[in-house]
Amino acid sequence: RKPITINTLQSLYRKNEPITMITAHDFPSAHVADHAGMDMILVGDSLAMVALGMEDTSEVLLEEMLLHCRSVARAKTAAFTVGDLPMGSYEIAPEQALESAIRVVKEGRVKAVKLEGGKEMAPTIAKITSAGIPVVGHIGLTPQRQNALGGFRVQGKNTASALELLEDAFAVQEAGAFAIVVEAVPAEIATMVTKKLSVPTIGIGAGNGTSGQVLVQVDMSGNFPPGRFLPKFVKKYGDVWSESLRAITEYKTEVKSRVYPTPEHTYPMSMTKEEFADF
């Protein structure tokens, strides 16, 4: 597969072909996403919760993101890779954000960065893009700000909030973002925003009228223990947890009963029976 570049993504957008994006947080999850033919791979800070067992995304450190970005980058995917700037690594000043963005592309080896926020982040996005680092915006529900939003709540529902979303989208676009993630917004509003923009929107819980879709891999592949809360927008396409559970349970049973390993899993020796008897 030919490497996906920013030009490929722009051409998909022009052709009105949906852009496919999924998260990955390590080497195997990047490989499988790439084999499936994803256009974009996001090393999302959602890895805090789905891979590191943290309470929320704001807990993950830049250093930790770098480690995960690097392991995704080592899969050498054709998919275009994007790394999230974690909370605390970009809000203080555009210079701080640029410094973090440089680390994410230089040490994390991904191609672009994503950061959360609307018009207030415009100078920051402009600063990062001016250094030649592509930026993906993220508006609507911004999980790093869940405490200020009063939790994981749908955004842009009423007139005032929809107008604010549109202003944010324009500001982020004008600042130079080449794509914008739009999270947890009514479909009509996300579609309207998409139509008004000239850069692609990547929706998550934003209906079918955006320029692309993104989902968290462990959510959509069902790679989590039973009872975990899933947002309304997640479609569970697989049951990776059940398959792992079945395999490990069977392994346990076969070890306990000495069914595994059989001779086919075992190395032969080169001693003869006589030599072995004398040994």
The one catalytic residue among 17, 59, 107, 183? 183
Nearest residue relative to ligand KIV (C-beta): 44
Among residues 143, 183, 177, 150, the alpha carbon closest in space to that of 165 is found at 183
Tell me which stretch binds ligand KIV (CB under 6 A): 41-49, 61-69, 86-94, 147-155.
Answer: 41-49
Tokens describing residue 133: 């680092």
Tokens describing residue 101: 């963005």
Indicate whether 89 belongs to the interface with ligand KIV (CB under 6 A).
Answer: no
Q: What is the C-alpha R_g of the chain? A: 22
Q: Which of residues 104-163 bind ligand KIV (CB under 6 A)?
A: none
Q: Please, which residue, 42 or 199, has the CB nearer to ligand KIV?
A: 42
C-alpha 174, offset from chain centre: 24
> Considering only residues 20, 48, 71, 84, which one is a binding residue for Na ion as defined by CB under 5 A?
84
> Considering only residues 29, 40, 79, 84, which one is a binding residue for ligand KIV as defined by CB under 6 A?
84
We find the least distance from the C-beta atom of residue 75 to Na ion, in angstroms, to be: 19
Q: Please, which residue, 39 or 276, has the CB nearer to ligand KIV?
A: 39
**Contacts with 83 (C-beta within 8 Å, 6 or more apart), sequence order:** 42, 43, 65, 69, 104, 105, 108, 110, 112, 113, 114
Contact 173, 162 (CB under 8 A): no
Q: Which does 204 bind (CB under 5 to 8 A by kind): ligand KIV, Na ion, none?
A: ligand KIV
Contact 163, 73 (CB under 8 A): no
Q: Which does 175 bind (CB under 5 to 8 A by kind): Na ion, ligand KIV, none?
A: none
Q: Bridge partners of 43? A: 83
Residue 183 designated active-site: yes
Among residues 177, 167, 104, 98, the alpha carbon closest in space to that of 136 is found at 177
Indicate whether 23 belongs to the interface with ligand KIV (CB under 6 A).
Answer: yes
**Interface ranges with Na ion (CB under 5 A):** 44-45, 84
**Interface ranges with ligand KIV (CB under 6 A):** 23, 42, 44-46, 84, 181, 204, 214, 216
